[in-house]
Structure 1
């Protein structure tokens, strides 16, 4: 491999960046580093043409979900607790919302997404709760010309 070939450099940098994602505990007791299996058969991103050995594109739905999950999982234990949800909400809204309203939002959000009843939201529960959301649109950056 030519180390000065720009296409090889970009491919290597992209692979390094993709591998640098924090390990995510899936709730099944195993860690996934930089890759989560996507069981969505209607995935528009690869149309069955993506080599499963290739890393997921950085702008894939799963990588966007992984990024969003890591914003909430402050202690990196693979779960979003009510307290973590509350901390992030406080940072997002500041003083415009009362503490009581924030607590209500955090309680309801965790309760709705928590399928196994452990009081926290795993990555898989998080991803499932956002299945219907157009995360590609919400987490895309449009560059205007």
Structure 2
């Protein structure tokens, strides 16, 4: 089972890398970025399902434009576990969460992922890696 999980993780990471590479070909002019960011900014209801788990959790997130960079957004209440925002890069109608490390008192986690958005919602996958365990989540979010 661990072997399957390891290979599945590799395939998922390669898929995300491929998406990032392909999205780099899209025009990402400053005026395009601003329009895409305005399209994604807002509040959402999320249905979050862990891989290999039939139950999903439901929570709300909000997305705002980041002051740290032109093509960046911040996802607040990400995974319903984060007290600080997660940063993502916007390219066209897609967003990419580069690996970000968060350290607690007893544990350190790395969050990464990718997704797409439309006028009505988001579809994204993200991974939480503790160094010992890797949890993969698939999410559907609708605009509030």
Q: TM-score, normalised by structure 1?
A: 0.28
Give the structure with the larger strand fraction: 2
Greater helix proportion? 1
Between Structure 1 and Structure 2, whose CA radius of gyration is higher? 1
TM-score relative to the length of structure 2: 0.28
